[in-house]
Chains A and B, each alone.
Chain A
């Protein structure tokens, strides 16, 4: 959508929600990144008030009319709302959208801060944030995992394993299929890793809300640490240990010396997660999901190369990501030999 269309629609939408005659929209700007959705920042204030209170907000919508994304904006709003209600650090949800734009949309409050993992791990100004972040991440994660399908009928459309399939089996099958579909070259190391995963599949039937992409890059932070958990598009029902393993994946440490998000120790994180009401941490299962996570990121790099080679994107970044597959192979070898850190 173009800015004029968004501004006109938002002006009426916010006015209706406020029951106000006139609303002024300012500082409307599209954020970069994210092929699967559009994100716009805007400020809104009621007209003709002497002491206007400015609402700093975000407008998120599906990118193409008539093509709903997965899980779709409507579902994303319900997810953030459910997380907010559990006390997860997320942007405060404002209003779910309606049909006026021809695409699904919603609004939430805007959170100041930044997301680049390397900046958190290395930035001098973030020394304090590095201390605080692991505990804050553990607490929010424990709260995310309290969300159940039974208590949230509005989240029924979130994907989950089929009847009779364990969460681990479902995830491994999904990424193995993607690997076999997309890979340009044989990867014997990946074959060994898949074989290990099949032999060590946890038979756990727990089904809780899994964020699905809980890692540096998807956390807004500032000097005080965590300000918001974002990017809920890969949320699904599954094993809570999956998110913990993904947070320890080597590539998401951004060069940091610590295993959890590059800045936190394992045992301290597990203790904080349990203390915040999380599930008892099963270290073997976390190891399974960490190994799976490294393989999953490797499969994603292969998928991005396939997108480039098929001409779906001409980005040099996407093309060169194929040469990062080797990093995941190396870490898989470490983990298979019990030499992870």
Chain B
């Protein structure tokens, strides 16, 4: 295991540098991109914190719509398998799953949960409004 600072602490340090020193000593395009880059690092901090819980929630939601499957052992495999399962879900939506009212309610509840989880990482201010 690595010594301190942790990943989160180092990301925070670099984000602070971009939003502090870099932004106060630049203008125009570089200044704007320093803001964007710092925001990306803050987003990654949230993503690393939330990822485990969000992946298992999305997996459980897909279980409810597509049938139960065992969760893969590693996080990377879970990630890849969720992409595959979302491809299957996308195909089912194209084929009319969700046209029926009962299915649609379950589908929308899943979409709401997964989209809200994404927003909690990418745009927490917007996520909190809901």
Contacts and interface: CB of A to CB of B under 8 A. Distances in A.
Interface residues of B, number: 32
Contact of B40 (A316, A329, A333): A316
A36 to B, nearest CB: 17
Interface in B3-49: 28-29, 32-33, 36-37, 39-40, 43
B33 A330 contact: no
Contact of B111 (A185, A192, A316, A320): A192
Contacts of B32: 317
B57 interface: no
Given A188-B93, A188-B111, A327 B86 contact: no
B119 interface: yes
B38 to A, nearest CB: 10
A316 B122 contact: no
A189 B98 contact: no
Given A316-B33, A329-B115, A192 B126 contact: no
Contacts of B29: 32
Contacts, number: 72
Contacts of A189: 111, 115
- The size class of the interface chain A forms with chain B is 20 to 34
A317 B36 CA distance: 6
B118 A191 contact: no
A257 B39 CA distance: 24
B89 interface: yes
A66 interface: no
B40 A195 contact: no
| Residue among A185, A195, A326, A327 with most chain B CB within 10 A | A326
B111 A329 contact: yes
A203 interface: no
B33 to A, nearest CB: 6
Contacts of B55: none
| Residue among A189, A195, A324 with most chain B CB within 10 A | A189
Interface in A14-73: 32
Interface string B81-108: 0010011011001101011000000011
Given A32-B28, A315-B33, A333-B111, A188 B119 contact: no
Contact of B86 (A32, A185, A324, A329): A185
A337 B101 CA distance: 12
Given A333-B108, A333-B111, A337-B108, A326 B118 contact: yes
Nearest to B125: A255
Contacts of A317: 32-33, 36
Interface in A160-200: 185-189, 191-192, 195
A326 to B, nearest CB: 4
Interface of chain B, helix or strand or loop or mixed? helix
A247 B8 CA distance: 39
A323 interface: yes
A238 B98 CA distance: 31
B119 A195 contact: no
A182 to B, nearest CB: 15
B75 interface: no
A186 B33 contact: no
Contacts of B90: 186-188, 191
B87 A186 contact: yes
A71 B98 CA distance: 40
Given A317-B33, A327-B119, A195 B111 contact: no
A327 B123 CA distance: 8
A186 B94 contact: no
Contacts of B86: 185-188
Nearest to B47: A323
Contacts of B107: 192
Contact of B37 (A185, A195, A316, A337): A316
Given A188-B89, A330-B119, 18 more contacts: A32-B28, A32-B29, A186-B86, A186-B89, A188-B86, A191-B94, A192-B98, A192-B111, A320-B39, A323-B118, A327-B119, A327-B122, A327-B123, A329-B118, A330-B126, A330-B130, A333-B111, A336-B108
Interface of A: 32, 185-189, 191-192, 195, 315-317, 319-320, 323-324, 326-327, 329-330, 333, 336-337
